[in-house]
Chains A and B, each alone.
Chain A
């Protein structure tokens, strides 16, 4: 079964660092882009960026460039989303998803989500 399994919910304080994970299984992890999508409280889905685990090429939403880092470790089939200094406005549900490319473009497989709460 193709699936993405994300790390568990996090509660952090402003200024702290955080790295959440997304582990793929059931398919060749290095052959598909992985994207990150967030939903802030009361808001819609927002595309954050993507990474190609095969060579770690990444692309970011211009509005989030420099705010987060997307990385991947192909040896453990895992993608990551990290912050060096969290803000209250980073409170959101974060999803990873496999991104189809080539003749079709869509997020076909999604992780279950990681809730990140940043509060003093």
Chain B
């Protein structure tokens, strides 16, 4: 399955904003709006942070926001906090023989 492309790492200082990109193609990310973002601490359960491009589940901080333009989706974390240090994965649901695909993952480091 072709994965969506994310930067391997992104870092920022506490209080800053960072943005993680997730790049696909016109036939996947460009064609569907079922983009989700997950926060993952290895060995623990992933946590849904954003679904359907920009919706936050109940209980997720409004410091997390999502957007999409063309073939690229983005997750922005504002007011970066130490607890935000984790791996982040984008994902996409699409009509395909492989209906669900994850991004390559981005390690966020809080300096």
Contact = CB atoms under 8 A, between A and B. Distances in A.
B1 A62 contact: yes
Interface residues of B, number: 29
A105 B92 CA distance: 8
Interface residues on A, range: 20 to 34
Nearest to A47: B100
B102 A110 contact: no
16 contacts: A37-B46, A44-B3, A44-B103, A45-B89, A47-B1, A47-B101, A47-B102, A62-B1, A104-B34, A104-B51, A106-B36, A106-B91, A107-B38, A110-B47, A110-B48, A112-B44
Interface of B: 1, 3, 34, 36, 38, 40, 42-48, 51-52, 55, 57, 89, 91, 93, 97-105
Interface of A: 35, 37, 39, 44-47, 50, 59, 61-63, 93, 95, 97, 100, 104-108, 110-113
